[in-house]
Structure 1
Amino acid sequence: MPSLSAGLGLSVQQQQTLAPQQQYALRLLRMSAQELLDEADLAAEENPLLEREAPAGEEERQDQPALHEETEAVRGEDAEQFPEDRGPLENVYSAWTGSGAGDPDELPAVERVAAPSSLREDLLAELRTLDVDAVTREVVLCLIDELDDSGMLPAPLEEVVGDLSDVLDAPLETWRRGLALLQTFDPPGVGAASAVECLTLQVRRRIEEGSADRAAGTLLIDLIERRLKEIALQDRRALLAAAGGDEALLDRALALLKTLNPHPASNYSAEATQYVVADILVRRAGGVWTAELNASAQPGLRLSSLAQGAAVDETTPFGRYLAEAKRLIAGIEARSSTLLRAAQFAVGRQQAFFEKGRAALVPLTIGEAARELSLSDSTVSRAVSGKFFQCPAGTFELRSLFLLPAVQATDSLGMSASVSPARIRARICELIAAEPTDKRLSDQALTDLLRGEGFDITRRTVAKYRDLESIPTARMRGAKR
């Protein structure tokens, strides 16, 4: 009974904090600058109570006070019709905990129909259809986030469990059950640790579904696990021996092999070309780098004069137009306020980056920003993801200013000190640049070398840093000789 009571209390809290205005504001917060501009264009075309402001810079936005006066005039005595609008706009995200009922990630179907789904979205959708306990659900969620672009789990499960122990404390056996559940999802082979496991998972799925000959499938699994080299060399004699001399059975097994896909996520199309519009401009003023909103990336919308002094009845078409217009304007203002605060915080902490480049980045996490700004981690993450800033050095994603915590390193005297991830990444590049052409350094070899130099780092972290540097794996580098 205590656990049931706690669950009910949590549900009530979530429904109280996620008011309609907050849900809409969070959806706007997720949007990139270009998506927001497109949303504003569409709203201006469809809503007669919205009109364009004067172009940015023409009058230095002197009409903004009038916007607030108009908004207040419209509220007037009818403010009770819009309880979700009460309170400062900058606080619209502060009560949201980042999960629960009314999650803005759950967009209406009509808003998702034109967008191709991603592997992650499809896996999450399948998970939502299952009746599993809360811990198993969290385990599967964590594993989905650990998958690479091909749908594989690149790190050993034990290593994943160790790295995520601070996020979810669950026994290894629970993680194994979660992984086994994930591997039953579509596309077949997802969650595999290697191409071999991926192919065998697909064969077993075919056998269970009855779409593959059991004898041929069983033989193929054995060939994949024990005779992969012979398959690659097309050594018919060795393969036939493994099949007990049954040529017909071998032919069926090899025919089945040709229908498999070693890359589960290959059917998911690459993301469409994204055109970058910088939300933030970073400039040097008085010896300090500061962040400001890019006026050209802000939708120029305001309530039209038709809305002045109008009686509000949300059940009428006019009332619905007015409610939608007010909600959009309030959401845009809240988005701008939160985005600017996050950008100012990050730029203030990363002053050295704008002077010396990426190697001067200091460790900074989303959690630190969230605590400083009195927001949830999820809100800050949405605010900086997909948003870009422009500075003299170029245009960068705002999230690039946030790094993992510093890596601990031990010097020759045995003293421990924090080392910037940027320095680790630079050292990985140096080691790979100096590697012998006939013996490429694997991620584990790089990890061993770095540990020998005193860096406390895992193989998984090394692999991530290598990927961030756009450096292929040792096998791929060797193939380019």
Structure 2
Amino acid sequence: MKQSLQLKMGQQLTMTPQLQQAIRLLQLSSLDLQQEIQEALENNPLLELEAAEESFGDNSGEHSNDSSADSNDSHTTSASASNGDDAGVNDQLASGSDDSQLESSDAMAKDQLPDDLPTDSTWDDTYSAGSSSASSGGGSFGDDDEMSYQGETSESLQDYLLWQMRLSHFSEEDELIATAIIEAIDEAGYLTVPLEDILDSVSATIDTQAEDIGMEEVCMVLKRVQQFDPLGVAARSVAECLDLQLKALPADTPWVSQARLTVSEHMNLLASRDYRTLARKLKIQEGQLREVLRLIHGLHPRPGDTVIQQSAEYVIPDVTVVKKNGRWIVELNPESVPKLRVNEEYAAMSRHAKNPEDGQYIRHHTQEARWFIKSLESRNETLLKVSNCIVHRQQAFFEYGEEAMKPMVLNDVAEAVDMHESTISRVTTQKFMHTPRGVFELKYFFSSHVSTENGGECSSTAIRAFIKKLVSAENAKKPLSDSKIAELMAAQGIQVARRTIAKYRESLNIPASSQRKSLL
């Protein structure tokens, strides 16, 4: 085969580092973006926050208006603060500079100190004051300063039970059994390991006394653990958990005997909500059964949840929607993305650097800082443009609620803002919008459509809202079936199959009509 050269022309998209950075920032959530910004501030000495510099400038302006004596002190402190700032940057520049550059930087910093120091101060005092001033509160706390929050120590259910065990005066062998039982309890408070396995594990731990430990002793220790707080802990089933709580009630509690009989022998009837058969088994009337059910509903089928406190998860909205002069306006949340800028004072050092390596180091980080700021601006512009398009298309939702939601897919927004569909997917993932109706992820506003009787379209989100509204208003004694819900929606011109109703109902975590039936 003969080799030859050929000339071809074509178009190809090259993923430059700047484009890769912009795409990566675009798909980050607000929390991840704040972490990314913090890392950039720590790694790039040419990047800084605008707010920090403005507040520092305001403080220096206030000091300049004081009396002459105070002005002299504040001038000393301000000069020392500049010394501290320059020293901090010089430390960062030291990675690409030699000793001569450090000496020149130190000399420049010394020139900024006042020639005349107060008579009651020394060099060390002035330098220390400048360091604490430059730190902007990052050093020691004053008398009036609040200590910063250092985190919360949470106690697990096992820790709580082990604490009670140490106060119960168990023998050494019983304490080993109780510890094995407690370690086998899940977060809901149920014992997840058979007693036989617990006996085997304890016997393997104390081989010399294995013959003295039997199943009776394990059962006895289990009963003692089941008396711990919260009531119902270490149960092996829901029926046993509820029975333990009922057993702890006073003996003269009304209907407690019928309630214990229900959870111990007729749990299947209670789960299937077969109240007629259950009343016949208990030999009571419907009104009396209602009191029994009210007593059972007051129990805790997951006792562990009463001890373990779930930490609240907060969402920082990226954009805010408000109504001004009859129009819905989209605004970026300034708290989600802080304002950054390039430190021009340090960037100008590249023109006066005596060492070429120092100048290259400053120019490189200056360019990186500008690329990072430009990528953030591009992210904000894209997010604002997409959010405006969503609000414009879903104005009915903001006016009337979920039932007025219109069907919309990613391609609709992509064509409106002249962007690729993958870009719309990135910018709407893990991005949140704060509205008068609550905080929603941008993905929430996208949904498929269902044809209506008059030839229109209805959003699947609106159908879910209709289902939720119908179920919330139904008679608890005669809940609506999926077929009945389909008929009611067909009466409003929305043709939805029964299977579709069932699918949307399950997505809303709404049980079937047989499980929604209640006497209460």
Report the structure number with the largest CA radius of gyration: 2
Q: Calculate the TM-score normalised by the size of structure 1.
A: 0.44
Q: Calculate the TM-score normalised by the size of structure 2.
A: 0.41
